[in-house]
């Protein structure tokens, strides 16, 4: 046997039953602080990746069919437990009872602008929102929700985009899954105009 150990996917005479892996996979997911890829779970339980993937899909279906208060989602390249959207109002009220929100309204609005218009410069975000966003941009970057991804070829201004952490927190696999803008930001007419390509270009920015 090599130092790297035996590759279980090369053992032809073992019949793997995804159902028997449910308990150990659940235990690992309950301890997770971020999505765990199927191949990592497979290494942990010593089973082929395709069998573990089937197990994960079966668990997700079981939670849906039995109406659990949580669900198992595939997010990005991994899997993680999330509370169901149906209980968001209850959980939100409980978390915010006597506590300040994790992000201010200004931060949430700025994050939305970046999410829908990325890559975008700080000056353009400020133009869309109509206020200075320097402090908010720093806050979002510190929390790893946005990051610098380059510079504008014309003005040299820094460009920002959302991060993998943003997708994880939103429960999304990709930016293509972002919900339609209007239902969530009904008053953001300027932002909608930007998305439609109707807004006027912003003023040239100073190189940072």
Q: What is the pLDDT of residues 109-141, one digit of tens each?
A: 899 889 988 999 988 888 888 888 888 898 888
82 and 117 co-located in one domain: no
Task: Report how far apart, in Å, the C-alpha atoms of 71 and of each of 51, 61, 179 are.
Answer: 20, 9, 19
- Please indicate, yes or no, if residue 152 is contained in any of the structural domains: yes
Give the count of domains, the chain: 2
The per-residue pLDDT for range 149-159, each reduced to its tens digit, is 988 888 888 89
Q: How confident is the model at residue 173 (pLDDT cuts 50, 70, 90)?
A: confident
Same domain, 111 and 80: no
**Around Cβ 115, how many Cβ atoms within 10 Å?**
20
What is the model's pTM?
A: 0.46
Greater confidence (203 vs 170) lies with 170
66 part of a folded domain: yes
Same domain for 111 and 170: yes
Q: Which structural domain, as residue segments, surrounds residue 30?
A: 8-87
Mean pLDDT of the chain: 78
User: What pLDDT is attached to residue 165?
Assistant: 86
Q: Please check whether residue 57 lies inside any domain of the structure.
A: yes
**109 and 188 belong to one structural domain:** yes
52 and 113 assigned to the same domain: no
Residue 97 is predicted with a pLDDT of 57
* pLDDT at res. 176: 85
Q: Is residue 170 part of a domain?
A: yes
The answer as to whether 74 is a domain residue is: yes
CB atoms near residue 43 (< 10 Å)? 14
Cα 85 to its chain centre, rounded Å, is 15
- The answer to whether residues 115 and 83 belong to one domain is no
Identify whether 207 is part of a domain: no
Let me know whether 63 and 18 are in one domain: yes
Q: What is the pLDDT of residue 193?
A: 55
Residues 6 or more apart whose Cβ sits within 8 Å of residue 64: 71
Pick the last residue of a domain from 60, 87, 114: 87
Q: Please tell me the number of Cα atoms within 13 Å of 63 on its side-chain side.
A: 18
Q: Output phi, psi for 160, to 5 deg.
A: -120, 150
Q: Which of 87, 120, 144 is the last residue of a domain?
A: 87
In this structure, is residue 204 part of a structural domain? no
Residue 114 and residue 58 share a domain: no
User: What is the CATH number for 23?
Assistant: 1.10.10.10
Any domain includes 65:
yes
């Amino acid at each position: 046997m090599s130092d790297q150990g035996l590759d279980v996917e090369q053992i032809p005479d073992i019949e793997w039953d995804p159902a028997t892996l449910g308990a150990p996979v659940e235990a690992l997911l309950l301890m997770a602080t971020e999505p765990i890829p199927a191949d990592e779970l497979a290494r942990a339980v010593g089973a082929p990746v395709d069998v573990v993937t089937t197990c994960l899909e079966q668990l997700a279906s079981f939670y849906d069919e039995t109406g659990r208060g949580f669900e198992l989602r595939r997010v990005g390249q991994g899997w993680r437990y999330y509370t169901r959207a149906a209980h968001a109002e209850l959980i939100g009220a409980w978390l915010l009872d006597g506590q300040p929100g994790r992000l201010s309204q200004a931060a949430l609005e700025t994050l939305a602008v970046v999410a829908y218009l990325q890559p975008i410069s700080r000056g353009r975000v400020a133009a869309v929102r109509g206020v200075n966003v320097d402090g908010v941009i720093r806050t979002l970057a510190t929390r790893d929700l946005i990051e610098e991804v380059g510079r504008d070829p014309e003005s040299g201004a820094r460009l920002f985009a959302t991060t993998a952490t943003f997708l994880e927190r939103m429960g999304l696999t990709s930016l293509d899954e972002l919900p339609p803008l209007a239902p969530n930001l009904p008053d953001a007419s300027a932002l909608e105009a930007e998305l439609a390509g109707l807004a006027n270009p912003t003023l040239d920015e100073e190189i940072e």
